[in-house]
């Protein structure tokens, strides 16, 4: 993506960008933390089984169960924040550009079928929606999970 295009996309998200980024990185960290918690749980449980200590095994199950619940709950909250901010950004963009389409001169609507204008605008906005909703979360989650995997190795 060109730098100018990236900056234009950030400009469209004005007013929502801080909470959007908190939700994005929080949900990605939640995903990476869940991977790390699962790996640590298996490692510690196998150590406890190898030692044959059932009390330590039970204690580790309780501790990691609580940690898993905490990580899952925080990941869900950050995921909700991310999706809500992405929806708010898209609502703001739709409102802004459909208002501009309504302000076009009548000659523009007569020359082209008004449905063509609105359909093209809707298609462009839907393409932009994928930029704000799914792709960034996937990329950041993959990067953080990879970083956790390399740190754990």
DSSP secondary structure string for all residues of 46-89? HHHHHHT-HHHHHHHHHHHHHHHHHHHHHHHHHHHHHHHHHHHH
The most confident of 17-21, 28-32, 133-137, 148-152, by mean pLDDT: 17-21
pLDDT band at 125, cuts 50/70/90?
confident
Residue 1 has pLDDT above 60, yes or no: no
Residue 81 has pLDDT above 90, yes or no: yes
Structural domains of the chain, ranges and CATH numbers in brackets: 3-152 (1.20.1560.10)
Residue 107 has pLDDT above 90, yes or no: no
Q: How does DSSP classify residue 112?
A: S
Residue 100 has pLDDT above 60, yes or no: yes
């Amino acid at each position: 993506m060109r730098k100018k295009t990236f900056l234009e996309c950030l400009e469209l998200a004005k007013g929502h960008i801080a909470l959007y980024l908190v939700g994005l990185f929080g949900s990605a960290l939640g995903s990476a933390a869940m991977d790390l918690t699962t790996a640590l749980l298996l490692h510690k449980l196998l150590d406890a089984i190898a030692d044959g200590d059932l009390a330590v095994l039970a204690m580790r199950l309780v501790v990691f169960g609580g940690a898993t619940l905490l990580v899952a709950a925080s990941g869900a909250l950050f995921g909700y924040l991310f999706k809500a901010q992405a929806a708010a950004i898209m609502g703001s963009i739709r409102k802004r550009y459909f208002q501009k389409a309504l302000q076009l001169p009548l000659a523009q609507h007569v020359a082209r079928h008004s449905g063509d204008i609105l359909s093209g605008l809707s298609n462009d906005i839907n393409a932009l929606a994928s930029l704000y909703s799914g792709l960034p979360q996937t990329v950041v989650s993959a990067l953080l999970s990879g970083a956790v995997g390399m740190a754990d190795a």
